Amino acid sequence: MTAPTGRGVPLAKNGDPAKHLVQVVPYYNPPHVGGMEMRARERAERLASSGWAVQTLTSSVQTYPHTVTDTNLIVLYLKSWEVARTTIIFGLPVALWRIPAGTVVQVETAIAFVPEVTALVCRMRGIPYIARVPLDSPGHSRIRNAILSIYQRSVLRWVYKGAAAVIVLTNDDVKLMIKKYHIESSSIRIIPNATDFEPLVNPRPGFSSPLRLIFAGRVARQKNLPLLLTSMRYFIDEFGLPLHLDLIGDGEDMPTVRKLISELELANDVSLKGYVGGRDLELLYEQADVFVMTSTHESFPQVLLEAMAKGLPVVASSIHGVRTVVQDGVTGLLVDRPDERSFASAFYRLISEPGLHRELSSGSLRQAGRYSWKTTMEAYMSLYDELRAVRGGGRQHHGSRR
C-alpha cells in the first residue's frame, strides 16, 4: 500500500512527488476529538484529493505505534506518552529526520514539545516549516499560566521566528502574534476555518418546546460546561420553562460534567451524545434551536460555522475568536458577563422577543455562506506552492526574520 522514500518513511503511491506535505499534530482523532484534530484530518483529505501526498506524524497516545495508509494519506502514530497534559512523542525527531528534503512541513503549535522539536529538526536539515496557531491560550491555573508564559515568550517565539510562514485564523490573531511574539506581519497568513455542511435554504420558522440547545466540541476545561449546566438550572427555576441540551463530544472533563448533571438534577434535560460525525451530526444540528458556547477562550470555533450553516442562532461568551464569527444581534447573542443569569436571560430573549429567533437564524445563514472549504484550501495550497517555488530557487527561510 505504500512506497518507500529511500529514507525509511513511506509516501503515498499516487501523489505528485513534488507535492509532499508532512503535518505534525500532537494527537490525531481519536481519542482527543477536538477542532485541531478534525481540521487536520479534513485538510489532509482535501489535499490528497488534489494530488498531494500527505503524511501526518502524531502520537500513539499510549498504544502500540502503527501506521495507517489510505491512498495518498498516511498517518504515523508514533510512540508517545502524556505528561501533565503534554504529549511527548518519542519517535518524532527520528521521523522528521527521515522525511524527504523537498517536503513541505506544517506543525500545529497548540501543545509544547511538538513545535520546538519540529522546528529544531527542520532548521538543522534546512527544510522550511509552517507554524499553524490553532489557539494561543493561557494556562488553567496561576502556576501553569506562569510556566506557559515563559514557554511562549522564549521557546515558542523562537519557533515562530524561524518559520517560513505562520498561519493564524483571524485578523485579531495577527495583532496578537505581532505584539506577543514580535513576528513580522509579512510572514503571517490568515486562513480561517470553513464548513462543508449543507446549508439550509430558509431561516428557521420557529423554535421547539422545550427549547433545544446544542453544544458540540471537546469536553475540556476551556469549554466551561459547568457554566452551561448551571445556566440551564437557573433558566428552568427562574422562568419556569422547559429546556433541553444535546451535548455532543467527549474529553477529560466528562466525569465533572456527569457529576454536575446529577447534582443539578438535570438528568432528564441533558442528552450525552458522545462523539458524533457526518450526517448524524448534521441531523442533530437540524433538530436544535440554539447553539451554545460558554468557553473561556477560543480561536476560531468550527462548530459555530456548522451551527450557522443550519440556521441556528448562537448564544456565546463574548471572547476573542467567537466575536470574529458571531455578530451580536445579527447572528446571535454575545454574553459579556460569563454567569448563569446572563446566559439564562439570553435564552429567554430568544423565545420572548417576537421575531428575534428568526432574525438571528437568517443572519447565521448569511454569515456561514462566507466560509467555504474551496476558498480555505486554495489559500493553503497557494502557500504550499509558494514554499515549493522558493525552495526550488535555493533560498533559505530559517532565521531570516530574527
Side-chain half-sphere of 26: how many Cα atoms within 13 Å? 24
Confidence at 37, pLDDT banded by 50, 70, 90: confident
Query: pTM of the predicted model, to two decimals?
Result: 0.80
Q: What mean pLDDT value characterizes the chain? A: 87
pLDDT at 170: 87
pLDDT exceeds cutoff 70 at 8? no
Q: Report the alpha-carbon distance of residue 356 to residue 345 in Å, rounded.
A: 14
Please tell me whether residue 299 adopts helix, strand or coil conformation. coil
Cell 433538530 belongs to residue = 287
Instruction: Report pLDDT digits (tens) over 324-356.
Output: 899 999 999 999 999 999 999 999 999 999 999
Q: Are strands 86-89 and 80-83 parallel, antiparallel or unpaired?
A: antiparallel
* DSSP secondary structure letter of residue 156: I
Q: Is the Cβ–Cβ distance between 34 and 54 less than 8 Å?
A: no
Residue of 7 and 135 predicted with greater confidence: 135
Read off the C-alpha cell for 48.
Answer: 490528497
pLDDT at 322: 92
Q: Is the Cβ–Cβ distance between 301 and 322 less than 8 Å?
A: yes
Instruction: Report pLDDT digits (tens) over 196-215.
Output: 888 999 999 899 999 999 99
What is the set of domains in the chain, with CATH numbers? 3-194+373-392 (3.40.50.2000), 211-368 (3.40.50.2000)
The terminus-to-terminus CA distance of the chain in angstroms comes to 42
